[in-house]
């Protein structure tokens, strides 16, 4: 199996080299053919220099750059990916390495596998404010878009055909990009599996602000709802009319797969 791992990098000088080495060691032990694509997202610390050194000294490491915003970084990385299986995780490996192995075990049977904080068997430890926002986000996502995925912002593993079909629909420059990606994957009837994760992020300082993030979530969801239901809908060939879309993909018949697994962690 051949796999591309996309990692956005924004001011990750403290742990970047360590985490990339961990990933490469993990993949080599499993005899996987891989590439790790590091996307510099306008870092202002030593991350660009670390990326350059990693590319020069390690086989299978590639780099690219994007304008600020994780959505821009992911879009660039997904486009750059050369292999059949594409995987995204954050640079600090918030779910560890086992999520890669668990995703690989399932991807042969599904179009997309999500390492999901919303899975009932996931082990997470987050502030109550974050839990409230996550619950509200899931409610709005299900109400507005009929999306059954509980956490569209976990790790993602998917086949190239998913990228080739829906990437052009995902325009967000920020973290909402992942949610767009999952929304359109469901609308196009790709099979999706959520697997449990253990959230082990070791960031010293939270980048979370309840008010600003809540407002941003609401605005992004509302904007996307208007985009889909009043301005455009999508099929594999791009924007089409709502009538044409409903003939090809019935929202009531989306078959997003769910499998219950014991917690591997």
Against a cut of 0.85, is the pTM above it? Answer: no
The radius of gyration computed from the CA coordinates of the chain, to the nearest angstrom, equals: 18
- Residue 3 has a pLDDT of 97
Q: What is the pLDDT of residues 100-124, one digit of tens each?
A: 999 999 999 999 999 999 899 999 8
Own/partner pairs, 215-222, CB within 8 angstroms, 24+ separation = 216/174, 216/176, 217/133, 217/136, 217/137, 217/140, 217/176, 218/140, 220/172, 220/174, 220/176, 220/179, 221/137, 221/140, 221/141, 221/144, 221/179
- Residue 112 has a pLDDT of 98
Buried residues in 68-103 as b, exposed as e (16+ CB within 10 A): ebbbbbbbbbbebbebebbbbbbbbbbbbeebbebb
User: What letter would DSSP give residue 119?
Assistant: S
Does CATH number 3.90.550.10 belong to domain 2-253? yes
**In which band, very low, low, confident or very high, does the pLDDT at 249 lie, cut at 50, 70 and 90?**
very low
3-state secondary structure of 167: helix
Q: What is the pLDDT of residues 153-207, one digit of tens each?
A: 899 999 999 999 999 999 999 989 999 999 999 999 999 999 999 987 555 554 4
Distance, CA of 15 to CA of 202 (rounded, Å): 10
Task: Determine the distance from the C-alpha atom of residue 152 to the mean position of all C-alpha atoms in its chain, rounded to a whole number.
Answer: 7
């Amino acid at each position: 199996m051949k796999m591309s791992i996309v990692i956005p990098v924004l001011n990750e000088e403290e742990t970047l080299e360590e985490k990339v080495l961990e990933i490469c060691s993990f993949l080599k032990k499993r005899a996987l053919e891989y590439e790790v694509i590091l996307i510099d997202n306008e870092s202002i610390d030593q991350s660009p220099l670390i990326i350059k050194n990693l590319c020069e000294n390690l086989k299978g490491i590639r780099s690219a750059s994007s304008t600020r915003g994780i959505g821009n970084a992911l879009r660039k990385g997904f486009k750059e990916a050369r292999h059949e299986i594409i995987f995204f995780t954050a640079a600090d490996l918030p779910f560890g390495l086992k999520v890669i192995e668990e995703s690989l075990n399932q991807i042969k049977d599904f179009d997309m596998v999500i390492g999901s904080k919303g899975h009932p068997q996931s082990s997470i430890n987050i502030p109550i404010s974050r839990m409230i926002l996550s619950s509200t986000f899931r409610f709005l996502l299900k109400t507005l878009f009929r999306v059954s995925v509980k956490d569209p912002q976990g790790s993602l593993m998917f086949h190239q055909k998913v990228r080739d079909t829906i990437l052009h629909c995902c325009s967000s420059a920020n973290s909402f990009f992942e949610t767009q990606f999952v929304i359109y994957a469901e609308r196009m009837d790709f099979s999706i599996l959520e697997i449990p994760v253990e959230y082990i992020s070791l960031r010293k300082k939270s980048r979370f602000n309840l008010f600003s993030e809540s407002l941003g979530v609401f605005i992004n969801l509302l904007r996307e709802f208007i985009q889909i239901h009043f301005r455009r809908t999508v099929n594999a060939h791009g924007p089409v009319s709502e009538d044409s879309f409903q003939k090809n993909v019935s929202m009531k018949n989306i078959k997003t797969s769910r499998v219950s697994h014991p917690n591997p962690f």
